[in-house]
Structure 1
Amino acid sequence: MSKNDKVGLVHFGLQQPSVMFLAKQLERAGYDVINLEPADVLAQEVDDIKLVVNIHSNQNDDEVGQLLDYLAENDADIIINDTLISNELVGWNKNRWIRHLLHKIDSKNNILPESRTSDTVDEKQLNLNALGIKKIWILAASIGGPESLVRFLKSFDGSEPLLFVIVQHMDSEFVHMMENQLNKNGQIPVQVPQIGEMIKPGHAILMPVDESLVIESDGTIGVKDFNPNRLTTPCIDDACMDMIDQLKQLNMAVFSGMASDGVKGAINIHENGGIVITQSEESCVVSAIAEEVRQKNYSQFDGDPEAMAKYIKQNL
């Protein structure tokens, strides 16, 4: 973090929901957050603090103009945030907004929150049992995956102490379309990870294309930059390695898909003590990923999506 370790949030009227959310994320990133009204800013020196001026509807234009003129005259370091827009942001767009603002505050802020290093993982191990979660399963899929995943998720009733992380090959413009399609299962809610939310049992997280997932030691969700050299979006192998770094044990279900992305991830999960299962060839649209995992003898169960779900429930 740079010398600007204090951030002032300037509020016109009531503090807006998105700005309160921003304050929480700034504090988690290690900043000292100061909430200010325009009169507070006009009455003190502001050359040693980064200011986020939150412009929203119902404010007095003259009051805003007076404040901005004052800040410009004093060469204040400011960022303008339109809360009319930020209040409406959800999912990946909200994550992007947070990361964009943090990067403006300090260009060294490439991720939020910071990913824990291997030296601190054991000291801050995520306690899944305290969150009501017994096991986490990565669901890896590519071509033909969405149909298989819907069948699979539909076989649960939502009360199981499981968290699913879906890594489905797709382009960024299809993320929310994929989220809607997978939610047709009607049993397990599927959502793009939202910074600051807690992981929950009986839910599924859809891995975004332009971010990688971070699960903090307290169970809160964060995101970080992805590997720019990856060959697929999102990358199953990278997702597996990221999750293994954060968790003692991780399991993996390999669904319909082409190419070999996911094979290395399956090997790493197996060698880390996790369970790997595969979708049967006859029930896949394309069975390339699952077939390679089977040939390497890393699959501990093979079946159609419904049978895969049954196997997981029986081995809770």
Structure 2
Amino acid sequence: MASQPAIGIVADVVLQRHRLQEAAGKFGLEVCFSGDPDRLIGYPEFPEVALWLVTLQDEADHPALFDHLLENTDAPVLFGVDPAPAPGAKDYFRWERRLLNKLEQQLGQLEKLDTATDMEALAQVAATAGKAPALSNWITPAAPDTPAREVWILGASLGGPAAVKTFLDNLPPGLPVGFVYAQHIDNNFTDVLTRILGRHAHYTLKPAEQGARVCNGDVILMPVEQEWKIAADGTLTATDKPWPGPYGPSIDQVLLNVADHFGKHCHAIIFSGMGNDGAIAAPMLSAYGSRVWVQESTSCGNSSMPDSVNETGCASFRGTPEQLAAELVRTIENQCLLKNKHQRDSA
């Protein structure tokens, strides 16, 4: 995978330098200089970077900085980057997204995606997948091809296909649940991903189709190029517009679109990925009464996306893909036990 561009950060407030550097790291950028104006002016060898980010409390306090930059670099300079709010605040994620948009205007698309080599490696793992666990006796098996009442959105980016595959491998057949899978991926690899994850006998990966419903046992893959919604009658519906934001499918928008129909019966698990897609909409789902879970950091190929959602305070569970699968089974089992008890008490 090709390395990402290197950038330089100049700020006269230590906290701002730290937050800019942290955000740049989430986007896969290498930061080869981070310091105040005086440090840059006194630097023994001017750093070679693709872009400079400059934010100052008062530009008049550093009159020599701008001449120094103009004399020593041909790289673009972004002046006056907005001060970063506290991490975890809703304004922080908006700030981070604005920063990403500015960076991509100069550097092109930044988010790393899984490559063809990653897909081939995943295919070999899929060929040796073990046997799925048995369904609990407390859970009534769902009839296949029946519309799902509970839908879980699986949101992922870099490292996501392997994590989602492991999650599905650890689910027993017959759970009364359907899945909508929003994966940042190069559109050229969609067929490969469908073939690899489509090998599950119990949870079938299917591309979204106009007029189809999310059924128990389905894993509906959201297309990359075009936004999809769920109509009032529960059917999948393509729009005539691209997904909002820099990446497709937009996980934030998938969360909102699916929750718009399923309400509190729509839940989300955010898996491995770069950036912070999902961090705006996930707290809204949590406010509806939906469950929001995230993959824990050490098991991720890149933990920025689940960490960003977790930092909002809306995630009620964190775990490895195996632990997330086990928690889903426990959750459904508890729901079935409560439903059976209520039926007995009402009899």
TM bucket (normalised to shorter chain) is 0.5 to 0.7
Identify which of 248, 252, 263 aligns with 1:248.
Answer: 263
Q: Show the counterpart of 2:194.
A: 179
1:194 aligns with 2:216: no
3-state SS of 2:254 partner: helix
Distance 1:228 1:198 in 2: 20
Q: Does structure 2 conserve the Cα–Cα contact (< 8 Å) formed by 1:211 and 1:223?
A: yes
- Displacement of 1:199 in angstroms is 2.5
Within the alignment, does 1:294 sit opposite 2:300 as a pair?
no
Deviations 1:114-165 (A, max 9, x none): xxxxxxxxxxxxxxxx945241111000000000000001112331110100
Q: Identify the match of residue 207 of structure 1 among 216, 219, 222.
A: 222
State how far apart, in whole Å, the 2-side matches of 1:178 and 1:264 are: 27
1:27 match: none
Unaligned runs of 5+ in 1: 1-129
Identity %, equivalent residues? 28
Query: What aligned pairs does 1:220-239 form with structure 2 within 5 A after superposition?
Result: 220-227=235-242, 229-239=244-254
Is residue 292–residue 314 contact of structure 2 (8 Å, CA) maintained in 1? yes
Q: Is the 8 A contact 1:179 1:191 kept in 2?
A: yes
Secondary structure class of the residue paired with 1:148? helix
How do 1:1-316 residues align onto structure 2 when only pairs under 5 Å count?
A: 131=146, 133-227=148-242, 229-249=244-264, 250-316=266-332
Q: Which moved more, 1:161-170 or 1:295-304?
A: 295-304
The 2-side partners of 1:190 and 1:163 are apart by 11
Alignment partners' CA distance in 1, 2:173 and 2:231:
23
SS at match of 1:247: helix
| TM-score normalised by L of structure 2 | 0.51
- CA–CA distance in structure 2, aligned partners of residues 212 and 181 of structure 1: 24
Amino acid of the structure 1 residue aligned with 2:181? I
SS at the partner of 1:174? helix
Displacement of 1:283 after TM fit? 0.8
Instruction: Report the 3-state secondary structure (helix = DSSP H, G, I; strand = E; otherwise coil) of the residue aligned with 1:251.
Output: strand
Q: What amino acid is the match of 1:314? A: R
CA positional deviation for 1:213? 2.5
1:227, distance to aligned residue in structure 2 (A): 4.2
CA gap of 1:229–1:279, structure 2 versus 1, over 3 A, is: closer
**Contact 2:227–2:243 (8 Å) recurs in 1:** no
User: Helix, strand or coil: the match of 2:294?
Assistant: strand
Give, in angstroms, the shift of residue 313 of structure 1. Answer: 1.5
SS at match of 2:153: strand
Residue type at the aligned position of 1:136:
V
Q: Using a 3 Å threshold, how does the CA distance of structure 1 residues 226 and 160 change in structure 2: closer, same or farther?
A: farther
Compute the TM-score of the two structures, normalised by the length of structure 1: 0.56
Partner of 2:336: none
Counterpart residue identity of residue 255, structure 1 = F
Kindly tell me: are residues 291 and 136 of structure 1, through their superposed partners in 2, closer, same or farther at Cα, counting changes over 3 Å? Answer: same
Give the distance between the partners of 1:133 and 1:229, measured in 2 at CA: 27
* CA displacement at 1:206 relative to structure 2: 0.3
Q: Name the CA shift for 1:295/1:131 in 2 (closer, same or farther; >3 Å).
A: same
Distance 1:213 1:228 in 2: 8
Q: 1:259 to 1:281 in 2, by over 3 A?
A: same
Superposed displacement of residue 172, structure 1:
2.1
Name 1:33's counterpart in structure 2.
none
Secondary structure at the residue paired with 1:306? helix
SS at match of 2:281: helix
For the Cα contact (< 8 Å) 1:193–1:208, is it kept in 2? yes
CA drift at 1:229 = 4.2
**How big is the shift at 1:263?**
1.0
C-alpha distance 167-229 of structure 1, shift in aligned 2 (>3 A)? closer
8 Å contact from structure 1 (residues 138, 166) kept in 2: yes
Unaligned runs of 5+ in 2: 1-144, 333-347
Whole-Å separation in 1 of the counterparts to 2:241 and 2:194: 20
* Count of aligned pairs: 187
